[in-house]
């Protein structure tokens, strides 16, 4: 689980504390750590506005909500997707069955409960899970499920922003499951999404072609 204590205390007195009013500060107000605001809530209207502005929540359960706008931004341009020879063989052998929006709740539940090396617990609180389930019911959040022998072995979910897909979290119970689902998704929607927002760097997604771009460049893609 990410440790936000350092960030919270460093920016508490410098960052804007959100109220019940649905708004966010200007992007120029972001801290050097990538945090743009603290507090508020996870209401549907606030989350919709956040993603429209390229802002996302990321915080530990039982701590104040931290809203992030990192610079640089980690993204994947669909035409720069890299598929290794080994992954091509996996698709050729039909090792996995991949579906979309078949079981959003199961995907986010697994993302919440999957063990991740170096993390003590999860950053997906029950409150956050329910907020994204509501976004899914409204058609704003979607999931991808990866199956093997009728068992859910991987998946991810995120927010559809029209020309951008904002990835939130993924899980994998067997080798290459989430990677296969991600490749399938990017190739399926390469003519719809101008980029996939991966938020912050990970070696896993870098191996597939994701890269850092300046936040100012990322903003140009927001509708």
Q: What is the pLDDT of residue 116?
A: 62
Which has the higher per-residue pLDDT, 16 or 128?
Answer: 128
Q: What is the pLDDT of residue 53?
A: 98
Which has the higher per-residue pLDDT, 7 or 59?
Answer: 59
Report the C-alpha gap between 21 and 209 in whole angstroms: 39
Distance set, CA 63 to CA 38, 125, 154 (Å): 10, 10, 28
Strand partners, 119: none
State the pLDDT confidence band at 16, using cuts at 50, 70 and 90: confident
Which has the higher per-residue pLDDT, 200 or 13?
Answer: 200
Q: What is the pLDDT of residue 221?
A: 97
Q: Tens of pLDDT along 52-100? A: 999 999 998 888 999 999 999 999 999 999 999 999 999 999 999 999 9
The pair of structure tokens assigned to 101 is 């929006």
Q: Which class is 74-219 in CATH? A: alpha beta
Comparing CA positions, the residue from 6, 32, 45, 4 lying closest to residue 18 is 45
Q: What is the pLDDT of residue 154?
A: 98
Domain ranges of the chain: 5-69, 74-219
CB atoms within 10 A of CB 88: 11
Q: What is the pLDDT of residue 120?
A: 52
The mean per-residue pLDDT over the stretch 149-155 comes to 97
Q: What is the pLDDT of residue 15?
A: 74
Q: What is the pLDDT of residue 12?
A: 52
Q: Which class is 5-69 in CATH? A: alpha beta
Q: Tens of pLDDT along 166-209? A: 999 999 999 999 999 999 999 999 999 999 999 999 999 999 99
Is 101 a residue whose pLDDT tops 60? yes
pTM above 0.85, yes or no: yes
Q: What is the pLDDT of residue 6?
A: 46
Q: What is the pLDDT of residue 212?
A: 98
Percent of the chain with pLDDT over 70: 90
Query: Helix or strand or coil: residue 25?
Result: coil
Percent of the chain with pLDDT over 90: 84
């Amino acid at each position: 689980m990410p440790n936000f204590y350092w960030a919270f205390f460093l920016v508490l007195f410098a960052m804007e504390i959100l109220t019940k009013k649905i708004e966010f500060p200007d992007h120029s107000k972001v801290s050097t750590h990538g945090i743009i605001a603290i507090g508020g809530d996870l209401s549907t209207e606030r989350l919709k506005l956040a993603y429209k502005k390229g802002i996302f929540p990321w915080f530990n359960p039982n701590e104040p909500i931290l809203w992030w706008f990192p610079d640089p931004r980690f993204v994947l341009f669909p035409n720069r997707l890299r598929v290794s020879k080994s992954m091509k063989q996996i698709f050729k052998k039909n090792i996995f069955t991949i579906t979309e929006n078949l079981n959003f709740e199961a995907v986010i539940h697994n993302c919440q409960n999957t063990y991740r090396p170096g993390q003590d617990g999860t950053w997906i609180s029950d409150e956050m899970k329910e907020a994204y389930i509501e976004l899914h019911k409204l058609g704003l959040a979607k999931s991808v499920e990866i199956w093997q022998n009728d068992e859910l072995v991987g998946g991810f979910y995120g927010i559809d922003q029209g020309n951008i897909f904002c990835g939130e979290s993924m899980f994998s119970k067997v080798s290459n499951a989430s990677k296969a689902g991600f490749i399938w998704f990017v190739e399926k929607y390469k003519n719809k999404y101008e980029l996939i927002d991966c938020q912050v760097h990970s070696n896993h997604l870098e191996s597939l072609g994701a890269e850092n771009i300046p936040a100012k460049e990322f903003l140009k893609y927001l509708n």
